[in-house]
């Protein structure tokens, strides 16, 4: 018998929630802890002063916005607060209990899950089984609609932070259990696409003529012939990262037109003025008056394709440029996200937490290694953050660091190390880029070489970020580890690339006029690129001037009072 599940959510205000908890039969201490958790979560989420409405969805979003480290809380302490908050919400009927006890007591689901418990990979099914037992759904009656109902319940009646991801696992695990576990129903479930982006066209799926012409364009821009006498030919090669961006722009432009049912077979079709207009409208979206850096970037790529590969007429090219000129101007400045990050790190406590983080993680990695446990994820993140703090390089250079190629011991086996990135590996390709490391980071690098790499079975003179077995760690994997560690321990969202913005901002705070040193530090080819940090020059200059004034005021306070008085003129001074 399959009951219709109740997945409608309840919503109540703060005062009503407090009243329900106080009127409950819970012990006084338990009530205190529950109400305290409600208050703390509201305060940490910045909604204490407002009239917050409690629903499963609103509380889920509120919890996701809170960074425990930003409030001086450990992950364990915040977990305890959430546990008490869930108890209060269950008391008020806003969320349901997990229901694990129902699964074990159920005559149909109990034996099945007992068999599945021997393999931990089936753990995700226990939540689904608990839902089914709660709503009297027998194993033999489970179908695709049951999975969708389960998703609705997770969203409306639980605080599960990733309901989409949980539900997408169910069909795969269910089908594996049906094939491998005795007594499991033979029903097969179909994959669920909840929360996934629509599938995009891959490069290999592009129309053959379009793909061939696009590859010819990329080849031309990668290595232009210096003796080509064709008018308006490209004169300098594009960096590999820029070529990858142009390739992605072409693919995305095709996808936009295909979604709009516009026939595109060649690059000439792609860059007609009407099609370019449709592509730009798509990326401007519902805010056509708002500056959009991506729309501006893809417009530049399409104009370059029209000019160098399609070779449109002068009038057509002028029309395309006119379309691009109508896009809202993108300020030559840091984005709002980067400004917010830099401003957050003006809090000296947060900056101190970030600077101290490598040592914290490094100590944990050493502890894990001494206990015979895998420590390379923790050690890699510790070393990466330490390196980025002192050597704000690009992520592709960080992950590619190699002892033979990039590390130098100019100061002897115990002195500070130096990183040397050849010009051929830099984004600009113009000159070598070097960083002298501090003692702490040098020590971490040496431990990596002497202890971690040999223990992982990797070459001690090979890749710095090597996984067990010697394979280099993926760039996105390391970047995710860095971001997760910073969010957990410092309480801010920060990417590996944003260390470059932090370095520029902190240096210019002390020397507001010295943009050339920042350009050299970040490896910019042109001084104009570094000017994105000029937006706060007025603030920096003002603070520098204020420091001078205050220093002078303090100096005058320390002078003896007698020196401050003006001498009365003597009669002999009079003429």
Which of 409, 384, 386 lies closest to 397 in space, CA to CA?
Answer: 384
Examine the pLDDT at 112 and tell me if it is beyond 60.
Answer: yes
* Beta-carbon count within 10 A of 166 CB: 18
Examine the pLDDT at 120 and tell me if it is beyond 80.
Answer: no
Instruction: Assign 106 a pLDDT band (cuts: 50, 70, 90).
Output: confident
Query: How much is the pLDDT for 3?
Result: 46
pLDDT digits (tens, 9 = 90+) for 538-548: 666 766 677 77
Report the pLDDT averaged over residues 407-415. Answer: 85
Query: How much is the pLDDT for 196?
Result: 65
Examine the pLDDT at 77 and tell me if it is beyond 50.
Answer: yes
Query: How much is the pLDDT for 1?
Result: 40
Which of 211, 172, 175 lies closest to 192 in space, CA to CA?
Answer: 172
Examine the pLDDT at 226 and tell me if it is beyond 90.
Answer: no
pLDDT more than 90, % of the chain: 60
pLDDT digits (tens, 9 = 90+) for 20-52: 999 999 999 999 999 999 999 999 998 876 678
Report the pLDDT averaged over residues 515-535. Answer: 86
Instruction: Assign 4 a pLDDT band (cuts: 50, 70, 90).
Output: very low
Better pLDDT: 510 or 312: 312
pLDDT digits (tens, 9 = 90+) for 293-319: 899 999 999 999 999 999 999 999 999
**Phi/psi at 285 (nearest 5 deg)?**
60, -135
Query: How much is the pLDDT for 47?
Result: 86
Q: Which helix (H) or strand (E) holds 54?
A: strand 53-54
Query: How much is the pLDDT for 570?
Result: 59
Query: How much is the pLDDT for 363?
Result: 95
Evaluated on CA atoms 513, 516, 518, 519, the torsion sign reads: positive
Q: Which residues of 46-77 are buried (b: 16+ CB within 10 A; e: fewer)?
A: ebeeeebebbbebbbebbeebbbbbeebeeee
Query: How much is the pLDDT for 575?
Result: 44
Better pLDDT: 134 or 567: 134
Examine the pLDDT at 242 and tell me if it is beyond 60.
Answer: yes
Q: Which helix (H) or strand (E) holds 40?
A: helix 28-44
Examine the pLDDT at 64 and tell me if it is beyond 70.
Answer: yes
Lowest mean pLDDT among 119-128, 154-163, 493-502: 119-128
Query: How much is the pLDDT for 405?
Result: 94
Q: Which helix (H) or strand (E) holds 143?
A: none
- Within 8 A by CB and 6+ apart from 208, the residues are none
Q: Which helix (H) or strand (E) holds 436?
A: strand 433-436
Helical spans, DSSP H, in 46-143: 56-65, 75-91, 100-105, 109-116, 124-134
Examine the pLDDT at 558 and tell me if it is beyond 60.
Answer: yes
Which of 505, 503, 477 lies closest to 392 in space, CA to CA?
Answer: 503
136 close to 104: Cβ distance less than 8 angstroms: no
Q: Which tokens is 459 given?
A: 């070459």
**Phi/psi at 60 (nearest 5 deg)?**
-60, -45
Lowest mean pLDDT among 360-364, 469-473, 565-569: 565-569
Query: How much is the pLDDT for 291?
Result: 86
Examine the pLDDT at 562 and tell me if it is beyond 70.
Answer: no
pLDDT more than 70, % of the chain: 92
Q: Which tokens is 517 given?
A: 């040193």
Query: How much is the pLDDT for 72?
Result: 83
Examine the pLDDT at 326 and tell me if it is beyond 80.
Answer: yes
Query: How much is the pLDDT for 19?
Result: 93
Which of 136, 105, 107, 103 lies closest to 122 in space, CA to CA?
Answer: 103
Query: How much is the pLDDT for 537?
Result: 65
427 close to 443: Cβ distance less than 8 angstroms: no
Better pLDDT: 537 or 433: 433
Instruction: Assign 228 a pLDDT band (cuts: 50, 70, 90).
Output: confident
Q: Parallel, antiparallel, or unpaired for β 433-436 and 418-421?
A: antiparallel
Instruction: Assign 565 a pLDDT band (cuts: 50, 70, 90).
Output: low
- Within 8 A by CB and 6+ apart from 557, the residues are none
Instruction: Assign 121 a pLDDT band (cuts: 50, 70, 90).
Output: confident
In whole numbers, what is the pLDDT of the chain averaged over residues?
88
Residue in the block written with tokens 């030559």: 332
**Cα distance between residue 276 and residue 288, in whole Å:** 15
DSSP-derived secondary structure letter, 317: H
Report the pLDDT averaged over residues 364-386. Answer: 95
């Amino acid at each position: 018998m399959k009951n219709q599940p109740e997945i409608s959510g309840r919503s109540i205000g703060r005062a009503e929630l407090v009243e329900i908890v106080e009127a409950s039969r819970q012990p006084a201490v338990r009530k205190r802890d529950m109400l305290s958790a409600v208050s703390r979560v509201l305060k940490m989420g910045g909604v204490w002063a407002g009239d917050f409405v409690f629903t499963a969805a609103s509380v889920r979003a509120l919890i996701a916005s809170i960074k425990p480290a930003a409030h001086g809380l450990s992950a364990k302490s915040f977990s305890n607060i959430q546990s008490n908050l869930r108890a209060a919400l269950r008391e008020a009927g806003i969320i349901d209990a997990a229901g694990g006890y129902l699964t074990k007591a159920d005559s149909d689901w109990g034996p099945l899950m007992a068999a599945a418990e021997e393999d931990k990979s089936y753990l995700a099914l226990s939540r689904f089984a608990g839902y089914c037992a709660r709503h009297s759904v027998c194993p033999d009656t489970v179908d695709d609609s049951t999975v969708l109902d389960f998703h609705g319940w997770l969203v409306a009646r639980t605080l599960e932070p990733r309901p989409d991801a949980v539900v997408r696992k169910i069909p795969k695990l269910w089908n594996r259990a049906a094939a491998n576990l005795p007594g499991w129903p033979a029903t097969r479930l179909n994959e669920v696409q909840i929360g996934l982006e629509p599938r995009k066209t891959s490069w290999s799926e592009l129309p053959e003529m379009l793909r061939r012409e696009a590859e010819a364009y990329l080849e031309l821009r990668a290595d232009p012939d210096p003796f080509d006498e064709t008018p308006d030919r490209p004169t300098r090669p594009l960096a590999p990262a820029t070529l990858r961006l142009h390739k992605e722009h072409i693919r995305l432009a095709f996808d936009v037109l295909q979604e709009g049912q516009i026939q595109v077979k060649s690059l000439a079709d792609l860059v007609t003025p009407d099609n370019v207009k449709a592509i730009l409208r798509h990326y401007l979206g519902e805010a056509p008056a708002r500056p959009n850096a991506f729309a501006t970037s893809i417009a530049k790529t399409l104009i370059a394709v029209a000019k160098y590969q399609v070779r449109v007429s002068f009038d057509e090219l002028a029309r395309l440029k006119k379309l691009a000129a109508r896009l809202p101007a993108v300020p030559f400045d840091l984005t709002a996200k980067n400004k917010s990050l830099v401003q957050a790190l003006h809090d000296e406590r947060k900056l101190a937490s970030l600077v101290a983080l490598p040592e914290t993680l490094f100590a944990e990695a050493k502890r894990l290694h001494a206990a015979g446990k895998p420590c390379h994820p923790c050690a890699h993140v510790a070393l990466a953050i330490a390196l980025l703090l002192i050597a704000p390089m690009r992520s592709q250079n960080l992950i590619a660091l190699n002892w033979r190629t990039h590390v130098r011991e100019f100061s002897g086996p115990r002195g500070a190390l130096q990183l040397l990135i050849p010009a051929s590996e830099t984004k600009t390709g113009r000159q070598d880029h070097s960083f002298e490391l501090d003692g702490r980071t040098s020590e971490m690098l040496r431990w990596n070489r002497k202890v971690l790499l040999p223990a992982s079975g990797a070459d001690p003179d090979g890749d710095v970020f090597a996984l067990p077995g010697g394979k280099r760690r993926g760039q996105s994997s390391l970047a995710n580890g860095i971001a997760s560690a910073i969010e957990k321990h410092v309480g801010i969202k920060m990417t590996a690339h944003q260390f470059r913005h932090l370095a520029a901002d902190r240096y210019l705070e002390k020397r507001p006029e010295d943009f050339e040193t920042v350009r050299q530090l970040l490896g910019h080819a042109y001084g104009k690129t570094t000017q994105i940090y000029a937006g706060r020059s007025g603030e920096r200059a003002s603070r520098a001037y204020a420091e001078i004034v205050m220093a002078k005021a303090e100096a005058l306070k320390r002078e003896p009072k007698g020196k401050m008085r003006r001498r009365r003129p003597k009669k002999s001074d009079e003429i």
